[in-house]
């Protein structure tokens, strides 16, 4: 075949400089949100076994970690709290004395420019591990809503810049939006965990946050992995209720959902590169089966290419340093 009869796409790949010039999707540290697990006490840094490099941290250590993230260019953190005591209603979620609320205040004092987002859910605070009030063997959706709103308001009172409800209760965004408005926090945005799937990739997180259900599972309120059209209905519902940012969680197994949401809705879109996705790469990298850094960047790039504007990732600092090296 005459070489003039087919496109010469390889011509554009021969030079590293030209490849960089033609890069279609560029990751930036400013797009990353770094999740932190905060606990009570001081001087606490407890490694999370299935998540190498990630720790449970007391508030003082979380402040240090936030400053380290800021030095690498990561401008936002997402806080999850692990209380000392749990009860059936998750009452600690709204306590001003709990780790999340104290961490918010401490981080904003030490690093005012850091954008602090808080997870709003009850699963870490309930003794049964479910995301809301349990009635019999089911979660009572409507009884849970005011408790989520109370937790969100307590986070705003502590100084949170944004709240992110993850309980997957119908109407949670509307309840939280109303609660924030009534408490004079109408300027606080809400990032909805809009399309949150009942995923096996959450396993390491449940160890990290001590939030595994004590009975049953969460498939009655989180989405089945098979559902695509339903995800769009969930996103639409969150937007109707007042969500300012929408989210797809997990990311890697749901790139098609991210792409569809990005094309259908003209709203900022976040994707959560969850614990199991992080742990797979970390474990395979430690075993020498893959190049950890290259695999990490390939996954994050795929999430960006699918249409995410923001990426919540435990690799935020590591990826930012990789980007800085060029």
Helix, strand, or coil here: 43? Answer: coil
Q: How far apart are CA 241 and CA 232, in angstroms?
A: 14
Query: Largest Cα–Cα distance of the chain, in whole Å?
Result: 75
Backbone dihedral region for residue 181 (phi beyond 0: left; psi -120 to 50: alpha; all else: beta): alpha
Residue 321 annotated as catalytic: no
Q: How far apart are CA 279 and CA 89, in angstroms?
A: 31
Angle between helix 172-182 and helix 229-241 axes, rounded to 10 deg? 20
Helix, strand, or coil here: 58? Answer: strand
List of long-range contacts for 134-143, beta carbons under 8 Å, 24+ apart: 134/88, 137/215, 137/216, 138/220, 139/169, 139/220, 139/221, 141/169, 141/170, 141/171, 141/221, 142/171
Using the structure block, give the residue that is written with the tokens 């990826």: 319
- Which one from 75, 86, 108, 249 is the annotated catalytic residue? 249
Closest CA to 173 of 119, 242, 233: 242
Residue 196 annotated as catalytic: yes
CA terminus-to-terminus distance, the chain: 39
Instruction: Please give the backbone phi and psi of residue 28, each rounded to the nearest 5 degrees, phi first.
Output: -135, 145
Q: Which stretch of DSSP H or E encloses residue 39?
A: strand 32-39
Closest CA to 211 of 96, 86, 97, 105: 86
- Which one from 75, 196, 259, 304 is the annotated catalytic residue? 196
The single-letter DSSP state of residue 201 is: G
Token couple for 256: 């098609």
User: How many Cβ atoms sit within 10 Å of the Cβ of residue 129?
Assistant: 22
Active site residues: 196, 249
């Amino acid at each position: 075949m005459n070489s003039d009869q087919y496109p010469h796409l390889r011509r554009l790949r021969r030079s590293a400089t030209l490849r960089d010039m033609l890069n279609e999707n560029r990751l930036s540290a400013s797009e990353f949100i770094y999740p932190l697990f905060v606990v009570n006490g001081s001087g606490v840094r407890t490694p999370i076994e299935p998540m190498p490099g990630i720790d449970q941290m007391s508030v003082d250590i979380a402040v240090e970690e936030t400053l380290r993230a800021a030095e690498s260019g990561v401008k936002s953190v997402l806080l999850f709290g692990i209380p000392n005591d749990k009860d059936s209603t998750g009452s600690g979620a709204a306590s001003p004395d709990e780790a999340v609320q104290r961490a918010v205040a401490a981080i904003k004092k030490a690093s005012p420019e850091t954008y602090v987002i808080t997870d709003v859910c009850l699963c870490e605070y309930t003794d049964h591990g479910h995301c809301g009030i349990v009635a019999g063997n089911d979660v009572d959706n409507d009884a849970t809503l005011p408790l989520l709103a109370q937790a969100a308001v307590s986070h705003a009172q502590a100084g949170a810049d944004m709240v992110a409800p993850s309980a997957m209760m119908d109407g949670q965004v509307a309840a939280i939006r109303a609660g924030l408005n009534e408490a004079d926090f109408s300027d606080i945005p809400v990032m909805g965990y809009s399309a949150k799937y009942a995923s096996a990739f959450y396993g390491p997180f449940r160890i990290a946050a001590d939030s595994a259900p004590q009975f049953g599972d969460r498939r009655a309120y989180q989405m089945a992995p098979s559902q695509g059209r339903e995800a769009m209905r969930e996103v639409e519902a969150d937007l109707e209720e007042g969500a300012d940012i929408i989210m797809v969680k997990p990311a890697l197994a749901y790139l098609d959902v991210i792409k569809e949401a990005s094309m259908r809705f003209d709203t900022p879109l976040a994707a959560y590169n969850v614990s199991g996705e992080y742990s797979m790469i970390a474990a395979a990298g430690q075993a020498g089966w893959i190049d950890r850094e290259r695999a990490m960047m390939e996954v994050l790039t795929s999430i960006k290419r699918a249409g995410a504007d923001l990426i919540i990732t435990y690799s935020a600092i590591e990826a930012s340093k990789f980007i800085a090296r060029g």
